[in-house]
A and B are shown apart, each in its own frame.
Chain A
Amino acid sequence: MAIMKRKQKVSDEIPTSSMADIAFLLLVFFLTTTVFNEERGLPIVLPEQSEEQDVSGRNLIFFIVQPDGRVIVRRGESEQEQVVAHTQVANILRTELAGNENLIAAIQTHPNAPYRHMVNVLDEVKLAGAERISLQEMEN
């Protein structure tokens, strides 16, 4: 009986004063372990399927991406071709856009060209401020 009594003396309540510390500790732990990963990239809206438009050749400029990264520039109807490095694409497109706001930048990529060459050209086209972009695979 004596032993039982002694045990009763221990408080059977949860200590509430340290509860805040525990809760804050958990809070700080979760805050510090959270990793935010931002989504970054080049957004583009693909045309709906079956949505094919007839575009006049005057409003087109082709950037043909070769497997070695060089870019062939062809302006709409003209057969003239110009081989440039991809870093020049932005400047070319900028001057063309100044002359014709409705210009569509068509990026035609060779099937075997690495993805990064196409991204480089798309980057340049975006930098030039083109709103109308078309992505195509080059037909053999």
Chain B
Amino acid sequence: MAIKDSGFKKKSGSDGSIPTSSMADIAFLLLIFFMVTTVFRKDRNRQIEWTTAEATEKIDEKRQNILHLWVQRDGSVWINDVLTPFEDISETVRPIYAENRELVVAIRGDSEVPYQQINTITEELQASGAVRVTFATRLEQRAMRARR
């Protein structure tokens, strides 16, 4: 009994409180970690009506490998917040693709854009070499589909 008691006493001898002096260091370390790993978006969102698809997949790609290509209803194409004429798309994308061979171009087209324009864009992308493309869509639910 005596032995047990002494053993218990020894354990409680260690300081039970969390060391607060190093807390600041830990917090700052976390803060700096998150600040460094944050990747900022290069462009802002544009007003488009999204297309929906049931087969929508999550694109498992690093954010810096994705290039957004916005096509608005009026047919204007925006790459990195720059209004790009159709014939200049391949010239704009080529250096970006040369820098990053993993590039995926996400075409964010308005649902009412005539297909002719989308076709021109894919042809321009082919000319620039960036052949990995996704047609950005919103996930469609079964219930929505039945109504369509």
Contacts and interface: CB of A to CB of B under 8 A. Distances in A.
Query: Are A and B bound to each other?
Result: yes
Interface of A: 16-17, 19-20, 22-24, 26-27, 30-31, 34, 37-49, 65, 87, 109-120, 122-123, 126-127, 135-137
Contacts of A118: 115, 118
A116 B133 contact: no
Interface in B68-98: 71
20 contacts: A30-B34, A39-B59, A39-B134, A42-B135, A43-B134, A44-B134, A45-B133, A48-B131, A49-B126, A113-B114, A114-B113, A115-B110, A115-B111, A116-B112, A118-B115, A119-B53, A119-B111, A120-B53, A123-B56, A137-B119
B143 to A, nearest CB: 14
Interface string B10-41: 00000000001101101110110011001001
Given A39-B58, A41-B106, A47-B131, A112 B34 contact: no
Contacts of A65: 115
* Count class of interface residues, chain B: 35 or more
Given A42-B56, A87-B145, A116-B111, A20 B34 contact: no
Contacts of B125: 46
B115 A40 contact: no
B54 interface: yes
A75 to B, nearest CB: 22
Contacts of B137: 40-42, 119, 123
Contacts of A47: 126, 131
A41 B56 contact: yes
Given A23-B31, A39-B136, A49-B126, A115 B131 contact: no
A135 B125 CA distance: 14
Contacts, number: 153
B55 interface: yes
Contacts of A37: 41
B115 A41 contact: no
Interface string B103-136: 0101101111111111100100111010111111
Nearest to A113: B115
B119 A111 contact: yes
A116 B58 contact: no
A43 B133 contact: yes
Given A23-B27, A30-B31, A42-B55, A111 B139 contact: no
A127 B24 CA distance: 52
Contact of B116 (A16, A26, A111, A127): A111
